[in-house]
Structure 1
Amino acid sequence: MFLSILIYIIFVFAFIIQLYFYLFVFRKLAYYKSSNASQNLNPVSVVICAKNEEKQLERNLPFFLQQNHPSFEIVIVNDASTDNTSTVLFNFQKQFKNLTIITLSPEQSCGKKNALTNGITASKYDHLLLTDADCTPKSKNWISKMSMNFTSKNDIILGYGAYEYRNGLLNELIRFDTIYIAIQYLSFALCGIPYMGVGRNLAYKKNLFTLNNGFDSHKNVMSGDDDLFISDVAKAENTVIEIEFEAQTISLPKENFSSWFYQKRRHLTTGVKYKTSIKLLLGLFQASLIAFYTSFIYIITVEHFILPIIILFLARTLIQIFTFRACFKKLGERHNFVLFPFYELFILFLNLILVISNLIYIPNSWQKN
């Protein structure tokens, strides 16, 4: 009897916590209206790190070099590539004078943070826009749309980096996971609690990077050039988000589960380094999610008084679907909303496996095909 009452109480508390996150946190993004950005077309340095990315650079670099922006440079850091990356870059440099190439030798190569630091140091302008070699801007106005958000107070712009739509379940899961994470960090930023950005589409001032000694506070962590740096320097008053379609980037998704699994393991290594308050908030959301599903499964399989519980479960699910549907629309994404609970359960289970995997062995390479 005591166990049954306890399970019911856990379910109700988990329901209330989940309701709070959807109605008071994620709803911020669902009904977000962009404030008027400044019309200042600031000079911008776009910094991209590349390691054995010849094919991606051949495909994507023209979209960056041909942006509609009056003053910008593209800084590519060739991080000791062993393929034809150097040849590809030099061929582009013959055509575009605003392309700067930084080449690191194998002795100088020691991770993405080092490569990125070299690129930022070599950049000419104070307004930095960061992305990856496997990314493509969704429009020729990407630089302008992102950089317009810079003001005397706005030092950081958190953008959205999507993954290309393809047929298949793996693609559905990758894109759902990406949007699921984006909804969280963008919503928290709108609540005045910015804690991360993604390196596929992120902007900040060079002066901010310099004053905070770059990545020094987490230089021994392989990942974190985006989320840990933002966690260190972002505040409610210096951070804004930009989710307009023309300001987004799009990337090629991983083509097999093992590559995606490795990528997620690498990203997960940074979570333990977040501020305590952020870990508590994110932990509360995840713990309430686990409690919500596990207690619900127990009640409907063991107990008899299940109708009110089913009603609460459906209420939470409908609120989630409507909130996420609005968020997806804001981000220009499409998905099968009926499958949300199943995708969420899978990601929840996968993250538990990732945590266990990282306790055994931590990934030690920033780039893996």
Structure 2
Amino acid sequence: MMILLYIFIGIAVIQLAYYLGVFGQFAFAKAQKITPKRIPISVIVCAKNEEENVANFIPLLAEQNYPDFEIVLIDDASGDNTLEIFEQFEKQYSNVRLVKVENNEAFWGNKKYALTLGIKAAKKEYLLFTDADCYPTSKDWITAMSSQFTMQKTIVLGYGKYEKITNSFLNKIIRFENVLTTINYFSWAKLGQPYMGVGRNMAYKKEEFFNVNGFIDHMQIRTGDDELFINQAANGKNTTIAFTPESFSISKAKTSFSDFFNQKRRQIATANYFPIMDQLRLGIFYASQLTFVLMAAILLAFQYEWIIVLSIFLVRYIVAWTVVGFSAGKLKENDLKWWFPIVEIVLIFTQANAYFTNLFSKPIHWK
């Protein structure tokens, strides 16, 4: 048991190092300011069978307060009325550009192929991405995201919120997981080691796409138009983050645990293609989370040095809760921080379950 205690202490140190040394970079960062720029922006939206969402959300994009932007709508061979709705928007708004993607046997069902055509069709120098089921939190979304561009910073990682559903514990789990993921990739980006972004809200200069030959190195992988691309193209010199409230986007959260679980499986499957050092950084954190909880439970169950174990357990939770609380405040998710002790346990075992499930079967990807 003594050896187990020493291992438990070592894992606690690892956890504290992550929360204070890594996640603290974002949690305790100074508030951002928006300095409007007149950068020409192409907002890119790729949709496949999203007729209801695009009908509701594209007009919100068209109403943005920004002097120089176009909207590139990509219909990825939809089987519903998405294309017809896009054609109506093209007639209605002078700054809408439509890209029609037909099924291609070599790239069937591959979102990256559709996005590549849209990026090539974009007329502006800077590209801002969101998904068909997303909408901006304000009419200054483009202004807020583009304000973080500089001569050196040509990739901007934003925050994609999920809609709040009252009295739904699953919704709290999904939103909290999203907050923790954002804290993770925001913090590593601030440390100069960006490893991913989310397609719901990110931007980059078009030349960054062509500098790495687009998605060619991972075109055969159905996911990763955001994570794998950013992992390849981003570095400490060219990447920054945007976390002013005006820069957020919002999308609908999953409403069933099975859908959420499958989403987690896809994220984990995509992360398997990260470089080994990124996998290690992520793997060590998630493994130490799980091991910390399990070892604490075993040591407390046997009441072995329980005062020491309980003290370490509480210190770790107070530190983690503080860091997550400050981060959630920056992301305007204050209601979630009170659920941290409960939701974290659920997420730890959900993550582990998704990882082991992926060892025996492959998740389903783009529609």
The TM-score range, normalised by the shorter chain, is: over 0.9
Residues 1:205 and 1:34: Cα distance change in structure 2 (over 3 Å) = farther
Corresponding residue for residue 61 of structure 1 = 58
Verify: 1:261 aligned to 2:275, yes or no: no
For 2:249, give the aligned amino acid.
T
8 Å CA contact retained: 1:137, 1:248: yes
8 Å CA contact retained: 2:36, 2:146: no
For 2:219, give the aligned amino acid.
K
Give per-residue Cα distances to partners, 1:163-182, cap 9 Å, x unaligned. 00002111011101100100
Corresponding residue for residue 30 of structure 2 = 33
Distance 1:200 1:212 in 2: 21
8 Å CA contact retained: 1:54, 1:83: yes
Question: Which moves more between the two structures, 222-231 or 257-266?
Answer: 257-266
Distance 1:59 1:190 in 2: 35
1:240-279 maps to which residues of 2 (within 5 A)?
A: 240-279=240-279
For 2:151, give the aligned amino acid.
S
For 2:60, give the aligned amino acid.
F
For 1:355, give the aligned amino acid.
Y
Question: Which moves more between the two structures, 345-354 or 31-40?
Answer: 31-40
Q: Pairwise CA RMSD of aligned residues?
A: 1.4
3-state secondary structure, aligned to 2:192:
coil
Distance 1:68 1:90 in 2: 23
How big is the shift at 1:334? 2.3
Give per-residue Cα distances to partners, 1:213-247, cap 9 Å, x unaligned. 00111111111111111111111111000010001
Distance 2:210 2:46 in 1: 19
Verify: 1:339 aligned to 2:336, yes or no: no
Corresponding residue for residue 113 of structure 1 = 112
Corresponding residue for residue 72 of structure 2 = 75
Corresponding residue for residue 357 of structure 1 = 357
Corresponding residue for residue 124 of structure 1 = 123
Structure 2: runs of 5+ lacking an equivalent:
none
Corresponding residue for residue 233 of structure 2 = 233
For 2:23, give the aligned amino acid.
F
How big is the shift at 1:341? 2.4
Residues 1:290 and 1:217: Cα distance change in structure 2 (over 3 Å) = same
Total equivalences in the alignment? 364
How big is the shift at 1:340? 1.2
Distance 1:133 1:216 in 2: 23
How big is the shift at 1:65? 0.7
8 Å CA contact retained: 2:218, 2:228: yes
For 1:170, give the aligned amino acid.
L
State the percentage of identical aligned residues. 38
How big is the shift at 1:277? 1.5
For 2:125, give the aligned amino acid.
D
Corresponding residue for residue 305 of structure 1 = 305
Verify: 1:43 aligned to 2:35, yes or no: no
Corresponding residue for residue 164 of structure 1 = 163
For 2:50, give the aligned amino acid.
E
Distance 2:100 2:336 in 1: 44
Residues 1:297 and 1:198: Cα distance change in structure 2 (over 3 Å) = same
For 1:366, give the aligned amino acid.
W
For 1:309, give the aligned amino acid.
V
3-state secondary structure, aligned to 2:164:
coil
Which of residues 49, 69, 86 is equivalent to 1:89? 86
How big is the shift at 1:99? 0.7
1:165-244 maps to which residues of 2 (within 5 A)?
A: 165-167=164-166, 168-244=168-244
How big is the shift at 1:149? 1.6
8 Å CA contact retained: 1:10, 1:291: no
Corresponding residue for residue 315 of structure 2 = 315
Structure 1: runs of 5+ lacking an equivalent:
none
How big is the shift at 1:336? 4.3
Distance 1:271 1:293 in 2: 23
Residues 1:279 and 1:155: Cα distance change in structure 2 (over 3 Å) = same
Distance 2:210 2:123 in 1: 14
8 Å CA contact retained: 2:129, 2:201: yes
Question: Which moves more between the two structures, 243-252 or 266-275?
Answer: 266-275
Distance 1:294 1:205 in 2: 45
8 Å CA contact retained: 2:32, 2:244: no
